[in-house]
Copies of this chain bind each other. A is one copy, B any other.
Amino acid sequence: MDIRIDAGRLRMDIEALAGFGRDPKGGISRPSFSRADLEARAWLKDRIAGAGLACREDGAGNIFGRLDGPGKTVMAGSHIDTVLNGGMFDGAVGVLAALECLRRIKEEKLPLAKALETASFTDEEGNLVGDFLGSRAFLGLLDGEALRRERTQFGPLLAEVLEGTGFTIEGILEAHIGRPDLEAYLELHIEQGSYLDDEGVPVGVVEAISGKRYLLGSFAGAASHAGTTPLELRRDAFLGLADMALRSTRHVATHHYGAMVTIGKVAVHPGSFSIVPGRVEFSLDYRSSSLEVLRDLDRELAEIAEDVAATRGLSFAAKLMDTTEPVLVPERLLGVLEGECGRLGVPFLRLGSGAGHDAQILASACDAGMIFIPSPDGASHSPEEAIRWDDLEKGANVLLGALVKLAT
């Protein structure tokens, strides 16, 4: 049956959700379990109930809206949390487009061969203790020890952040109990890059989501006086990092085109203009849509670091902080999504996702696919993040068509 979303209603929902967590410093700051997030949750549950869906919130704060049906569950969703000073579309469009789709299916009283659920997963952005807290909890993939031990980026422990919210670490660890058996998961999201915008195409069908490694590394040398230590006698930890940064980037660019490597966080010690750095700590983030490339990089980047250390009289150490594996979207889902683009006359391109998404976690339990809409100028995780409303309408109709196809 040929049904379409109500684009005006979806836009009103997105604009209403953007009212929670506006930051005086710009954009939206709505990390999970903040006051703004708790208010946004109440609003979302109200909208789900208002659409006549069965609303459920699990122990991790994941919020679902269910249209019952026989057999397994076809799920669509994303997240409503944001980075600090983020945009109003990242995550929100996926949750609210899914809600709009189920609302339309319910209004049209389509006969279902499967159950349908919308999902809003907690802390996709990893403001607390690593990315994808909610979807990992939903699949029972969390390490209770780590949740209890690690500090959130805001300083306190997770348990302290949860105080007074009604959520607990025990509840998060038990969130996966009794979850529905999944048939497929679809997620609409903004691209967070400029490929679709540069190409002038309104919809992207994601064929692969990059896997990621996030390490904290350090080089240790010897702090010494900047005026009296000859260059050739120095064990300058910062020069080691500079060498590592340039060599890693050159290596990835020449041997693994399309993969990414980033050093985004750097601390130099002791950090005085007149003292040769004795120690540096840094983040190393690398990503690829190919598991083979990612495994090559695990070995090759460590070799580069060890070689830099050996050449420069330094020692190198690293700790793996987070890892996600690359996901290939199954041909079956690509076929459904591209079939709907064709049926609706929506131009599309296949592309990879360099950013991580809940879909990547869901892929360990069922077929998972993603629809991207353009990010004008590629702006992401910033107040400048934007969409075009007619791109969203096209993307949401592709999602609706695919859900109807999968569930009826």
Contacts and interface: CB of A to CB of B under 8 A. Distances in A.
Contact of A260 (B231, B258, B263): B231
A227 B260 contact: yes
B239 A245 contact: yes
A277 B264 contact: yes
Interface residues of A, number: 56
B275 A271 contact: no
Given A229-B378, A246-B246, A265 B260 contact: no
Contacts of A167: none
Nearest to A85: B270
13 contacts: A192-B225, A210-B227, A214-B274, A225-B355, A226-B262, A226-B285, A227-B287, A227-B354, A229-B354, A230-B258, A239-B245, A264-B276, A273-B284
Nearest to A275: B264
Contacts of A277: 263-264
Interface string A276-289: 11000001110100
Given A192-B227, A225-B380, A287-B227, A268 B272 contact: no
Contacts of A229: 193, 260, 354, 378
A252 B227 contact: no
A123 interface: no
A228 interface: yes
Contact of A226 (B243, B287, B353): B287
Given A214-B273, A273-B285, 19 more contacts: A191-B228, A192-B225, A192-B227, A225-B355, A225-B380, A226-B285, A228-B355, A228-B380, A229-B354, A238-B266, A242-B242, A242-B245, A262-B276, A264-B274, A264-B277, A265-B268, A265-B271, A272-B283, A273-B321
How many copies are assembled?
2
A356 interface: yes
A387 interface: no
Contacts of A265: 268, 271-273
Interface string A395-408: 00000000000000
Contacts of A236: 262
Interface string A239-267: 10111011001001100001011111110
